[in-house]
Amino acid sequence: MIQAPETQLSVQVLRRNRLALVRSLGGLGLGPTFLLLGLGLQGESSFDGLLTLSGAALTIVSPSLALFVLLTNPHPVLVPATLRVSARGVVLDGRLALPRTRVRAGFLIPARQGVIVRIERRLGAALELLVADHEQGRDLLRALDLDSSQTTASFRLRSLGLGLRALRLGALAAFAVCAGALLGALTLDAPAALPFAIALLALVLLASVVILSVPARAMVGTDGVLVSWFWRERFIAHADLVRASVTYQRVPGVLLTLESGRTLLLPTRLGWNHEQVVRETRMLSERIEVGLSEARASGFTHDEERLARGKRPLPDWIRHLRALGAGADADHRTAPIAADRLWRLVEDTTTAPDIRVAAAVALSCSGGDARHRLRRVANATAAPHLHAAFSAVSEAETEAEAEADAALLKALSTLTPRLR
């Protein structure tokens, strides 16, 4: 594996506000003190009841307040530091702050002072860094192989049912019908129908709770957004997406507007306070917008005709593509396809999926770090069949006979009819 060059930046680390935490813990000492004083002075002072009540309130509220401050970190302290990303991980002022093996994901959050880079670790609290601008943030994520061009980003959402108006109206209508049936059984003195009405109402309530509480998940890649909810998956390609806008009306989240005119709300998960909800929403919106803007900015010339499968059987197509990549079919009339043009096709998410995979197969014969780069493309792809195809190409044996490469054949046969 080829190591990326080290990256060094001047950043500000968002540290925990210890003063706020100490203040929130103050009630843990005052509460029992007031409570004991109130109980000790019971009947001897007119303030004993007030002391007892205040002590009890502080004793109950203080742990909750301390937990809230611990989880939300209000008013974080900004500490200047020199950051260096090396093969070991994230180094702050010469000390290893986060090993690469513990890095799980990375996101950018637009802020007033700049851009916050949030690096989530496998165990423990996330590391948050304030950088000057969006480009610096992407440079940092790119050095950690966490940029949107290198890997997909997974976001946990609230139930998609919260954004489906028809589903909400249907649930209300079903509840009204069941409530009417129960009311009719009570008013018409029909005891035999009463258990059925109660059971039906309970069933509707249970179904509504399940539908509105089961979370969804969004996986954002270079090619689009894969939304999963219950057992269903829906892939929205960047070519079908007009814009992604942040909304805080009724249900906070990111509203996707599609080319068809329809919309899909991705409700972001609730936090301990409004600030956490805003940050979650901005993280999701920023990731989608980056992928969408890059997809629109791509405008490369293509070699689709030479890479297209046409009427070739799959094994013949694979052999043809590998010959293209190796330059075996080039002659005085036909120039070989340059590697940079093939890479443009692979990384251009607006290109037809089968052409992208065909270019990847051709590149798999070029040697060097091509397979490592193809694995990064696969990791940044959200569409399941396209991800499987890129993964199969990066792992296929170029020396093997095309007929014997079962994984590659399976991936290509699944991809072509579905996504072309």
Q: Please classify residue 320 by burial: count the beta carbons closer than 10 Å to its beta carbon, then call 0-12 exposed, 13-18 middle and 19+ buried.
A: buried
pLDDT of residue 253: 92
Number of residues assigned to the chain: 420
- Residues of the chain falling short of pLDDT 50: 1-3, 299-302, 331-334, 404, 417-420
CATH 2.30.29 given to domain 215-297: yes
Q: Could you tell me which residues come within 8 angstroms of residue 359 by beta carbon, excluding any fewer than 6 positions away? A: 303, 307, 342, 343, 345, 346
CB count within 10 Å of CB 88 equals 13
The closest alpha carbon to 132, from 112, 146, 149, 118, belongs to 112
Alpha-carbon span 122 to 253, nearest angstrom: 25
3-class state of residue 58 by DSSP: helix
Do the first three CATH levels of 7-14+80-147 and 215-297 match, i.e. the same topology?
Answer: yes
Residue recorded with tokens 């649930």 = 171
Q: What is the CATH number of domain 7-14+80-147?
A: 2.30.29.30
pLDDT of residue 70: 73
3-class state of residue 14 by DSSP: strand
- Whether the model clears a pTM of 0.75, i.e. scores above it, the answer is no
Rg (CA), the chain: 29
- The domain ranges of the chain are 7-14+80-147, 17-72, 163-213, 215-297, 304-419
The DSSP call for residue 249 is S
Q: What is the pLDDT of residues 21-50, one digit of tens each?
A: 777 777 677 777 777 777 776 666 666 677
pLDDT of residue 47: 65
